[in-house]
């Protein structure tokens, strides 16, 4: 469903994403992990068509993002880490606006709006301006906007930020049901416990390169790490020695 080939992003001489190859098939929840500045968000923004790659290709469900951008983006729902919402619109107006970007309108869209607002317990705020929404409510509205056109795959950057425990659990359930019905989710998160519990496969990026990719058992085999947690694997691959040294320094 999502395929990257030699995907690269450069800013002058700095290589933010270096020649990445990746395939996330239908029916899979894929976790994309890495430390700050590793290239996660840059990669996701290239997949979403927000950033232009310096080199390489992106396919969404067989549609080339560069050759057929409208068809590729119609298959995709994107939830950014720093969402932008038009605050002078109501929740319903914002969802209606996003649906219109995908050429969806009419009675079916109105029904979909009601379904999503009800799902995220925003029905009472349907006709209130977004400027009056809390941070968590805005996050729920953004997630709703990514689902409004019934995408085949979802790309999400730090999905749990701003959500209370109930909202976070609901989102986990939505993602799991989505992939069980044949959808695809590519999720970047810093919450390793969430990634370990939810994801079918995990890719770890460091300095713009994917340094490990696979299921938990495959990651353990690749790193010869034994039966350890994802946190231990992550630290081993991305500089855990420095973290452990800091712990020693801070000991009495």
For 181-201, how does the pLDDT look when each residue is reduced to its tens digit (9 = 90+)? Answer: 999 999 998 888 888 889 999
pLDDT tens digit sequence for 105-153: 999 999 999 999 999 999 999 999 999 999 889 999 999 999 999 999 9
Give pLDDT, residue 93: 97
Q: Where are the domains of the chain?
A: 2-187
CATH number of 2-187: 3.40.50.300
Reading the block at residue 59, the tokens are: 């396919």
Integer Cα distance of 203 and 206 in angstroms: 10
Q: Which residues pair with 187 in a beta bridge?
A: 31, 156
Run means of pLDDT, 10 residues per run, the chain, 252 residues: 96 96 96 92 95 96 94 94 88 96 94 96 96 92 95 91 84 92 93 88 94 89 78 81 51 56
């Amino acid at each position: 469903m999502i395929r990257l080939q030699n995907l690269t992003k450069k800013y002058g001489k700095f290589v933010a994403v270096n020649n990445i190859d990746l395939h996330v098939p239908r029916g899979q929840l894929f976790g994309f992990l890495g430390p700050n500045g590793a290239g996660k968000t840059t990669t996701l923004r290239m997949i979403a068509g927000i950033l232009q790659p310096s080199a390489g290709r992106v396919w969404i469900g067989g549609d080339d993002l560069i050759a057929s951008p409208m068809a590729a983006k119609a298959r995709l729902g994107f939830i950014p880490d720093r969402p932008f919402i038009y605050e002078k619109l109501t929740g319903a107006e914002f969802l209606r606006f996003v649906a219109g970007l995908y050429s969806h309108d009419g009675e079916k869209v109105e029904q979909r709006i009601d379904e999503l607002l009800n799902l995220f317990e925003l029905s009472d705020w349907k006709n209130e301006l977004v400027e009056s929404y809390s941070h968590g409510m805005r996050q729920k509205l953004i997630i709703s906007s990514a689902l409004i056109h019934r995408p085949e795959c979802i790309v999400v950057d730090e999905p749990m930020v701003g959500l209370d425990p109930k909202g976070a659990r609901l989102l986990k359930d939505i993602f799991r049901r989505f992939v069980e019905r044949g959808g695809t989710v590519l999720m970047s998160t810093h919450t390793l416990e969430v990634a370990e519990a939810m994801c079918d496969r995990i890719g770890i990026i460091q300095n713009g390169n994917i340094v490990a990719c696979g299921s938990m058992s495959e990651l353990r085999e690749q790193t010869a790490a034994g039966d350890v947690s994802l946190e231990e694997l992550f630290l081993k691959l991305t500089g855990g020695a420095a973290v452990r040294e800091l712990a020693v320094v801070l000991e009495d």
